Amino acid sequence: MLQKINKLILLIILPFLSYGQNSNLNVFFNCQKAKCYVDYLKTELQMFNFVRDQAAADVLVMITANSNASGGANYQIFFEGQNTFRTQIDTVRFASRQDATDDIIRKKLLNSVSLGLLGYLKNIETADMVKVSFNKTPGQKTEPKKDKWNNWIFGVGGNGRFSGESNRSNVSFDGNFRGGRTTEKSKFSFNSYYNQRTNTVTVDSVTTSVKVNDYGFNSLFVAAFNNHWSLGGFVKGYHSVYQNIKFSKSVAPALEYSVFPVQDFNRKQLRWIYQAGVRDFDYIELTIFDKIAETLPYQQLTGILGFTENWGNFSAELSGYQYLNNLERYRLSLEIDLSLRVAQGLSLRFYGNGSQINNQISLAKQSGDTADVLLGGRQLATTFSYLTSFGLNYTFGSVNNSIVNPRFSGVN
């Protein structure tokens, strides 16, 4: 595995080559849930021939990213050789901060991709076209700089949105304060939020307005025993006009088991998380069960399965939630996300989630007027919910896609 770039910056001078020179190394980019700046990479790495079909590539470059504790992202670039390079596999990683601009991230990504591709150039005839230089490092070792924040990170943010027509308007505001501390052995995080939206509509000179808000907090702590077992807990609280909840708070210890070592989660994961705790409810209005307040024990089991490979990615999450005082009050949910390269130029995307719902204990006894329901101000009784989307895409023609031409782009 190659050394981290932040310890020794490897500068691979590829763009100095005149346009049209080529290493005859075919490269295929596979971007998985990450902002990859593919046009920028193709423009800066003109030495390589970028292809549209992964079967025609000598090197498969898969780029993934996951959110990190600083609010930025941890990038992982996986390199897998094909044909004469099929025994060469490598990984390069780097992290970005929340305040990093697009230019900072794409330059780090360029260095990382260049660093990984360098290993595939050494055995080809055009390797002498590459010039490599190293930044000089001080001769003496220096002590690592002490972190005055001791790995604690905080953030605050807010958004506003206004939209409308002559007889309709939508206004929404939201804000949040978050923070946490993450180390190799433990993690603590918290998030607090406030959301408010106002929907107004005018029909036959009659104006109707519905205002709803919700706010709350959630926090977790987890300590790792080894690469498979972790112990922690959740503390949550929230207010929701839509759900008829004045305030609800809960606490629950939790246990997680990871079938695969946690270090492999970017490529594969199978985790089970079990939690059991107590939830307290104060309602805005009397519920359909004639309750204005109650405290209930509950349990929840969640299974998470995920794979990220050059053929695409697949993730599934199955979750069951149940009140222990009445086992018939439960919710069972399933979420599936699949992106699959079926054949050359043919890709399939499917997303779906669905829930069987039998635990709407906070429904107000009075149904409210029609305007509240239609404008999203009140929850309706239901036994299920679902959302699904799918798509099929087929591309044919030249497998070469190295050329980038931005003229007239971005204009409708």
Q: Give the CATH number, domain containing residue 113.
A: 3.40.50.10070
* Domain presence at residue 66: yes
Element (H, E) at 304: strand 293-309
Residues 6+ apart with CB under 8 A from 314: 305, 306, 307, 336, 337, 338, 339, 340
Check whether residue 327 and residue 297 sit in a common domain: yes
CATH number for the domain harbouring residue 220 = 2.40.160
Predicted local distance difference test score (pLDDT) of residue 120:
85
Q: What does the alpha-carbon distance between residue 251 and residue 226 come to, in Å, rounded to a whole number?
A: 25
Predicted local distance difference test score (pLDDT) of residue 5:
41
Check whether residue 268 and residue 182 sit in a common domain: yes
Identity of the residue numbered 391: G
Q: What does the alpha-carbon distance between residue 364 and residue 162 come to, in Å, rounded to a whole number?
A: 30
* Domain presence at residue 404: no
Radius of gyration of the chain (CA): 26
- Whether the CB-CB separation of 323 and 285 falls below 8 Å is answered with no
Check whether residue 130 and residue 168 sit in a common domain: no
Check whether residue 334 and residue 378 sit in a common domain: yes
Check whether residue 273 and residue 361 sit in a common domain: yes
* Domain presence at residue 403: no
* Domain presence at residue 170: yes
Query: How far is C-alpha 169 from the geometric centre of its chain's CA atoms?
Result: 31
pLDDT tens for the chain, 412 residues long, are 444 444 444 444 444 433 345 567 889 988 877 788 888 898 888 888 888 888 888 999 999 888 776 678 889 899 999 888 888 888 999 988 877 888 888 999 999 998 888 888 876 666 566 666 666 655 555 565 677 888 888 889 999 999 999 999 999 999 999 999 888 889 999 999 999 999 999 988 888 888 889 999 999 999 998 989 999 999 999 999 999 999 999 999 999 999 999 888 878 899 999 999 999 999 999 999 999 999 999 999 999 999 888 788 899 999 999 999 999 999 999 999 998 888 777 889 999 999 999 999 999 988 767 767 766 778 888 999 999 999 998 878 777 777 777 777 778 6
Check whether residue 102 and residue 224 sit in a common domain: no
Which residues span the domain enclosing 43?
10-134
Report angle CA 156, 161, 165 to the nearest 5 degrees: 175
Check whether residue 309 and residue 260 sit in a common domain: yes
- Using the 3D structure, point to which of 134, 164, 189 is the last residue of a domain: 134
Predicted local distance difference test score (pLDDT) of residue 3:
43
Q: Which residues of 61-81 are buried (b: 16+ CB within 10 A; e: fewer)?
A: bbbbbeebbbbbbbbbbbbbb
Check whether residue 92 and residue 187 sit in a common domain: no
Q: What are phi and psi of 243, to 5 degrees?
A: -95, 10
Check whether residue 293 and residue 360 sit in a common domain: yes
Query: How far is C-alpha 230 from the geometric centre of its chain's CA atoms?
Result: 22
Q: Read off the DSSP letter of residue 72.
A: S
Check whether residue 159 and residue 70 sit in a common domain: no
Structural domains of the chain, count: 2
* Domain presence at residue 400: no
C-alpha separations of 54 from 62, 140, 322, 361, 397 in Å: 11, 46, 45, 51, 14
Predicted local distance difference test score (pLDDT) of residue 11:
43
Check whether residue 336 and residue 229 sit in a common domain: yes
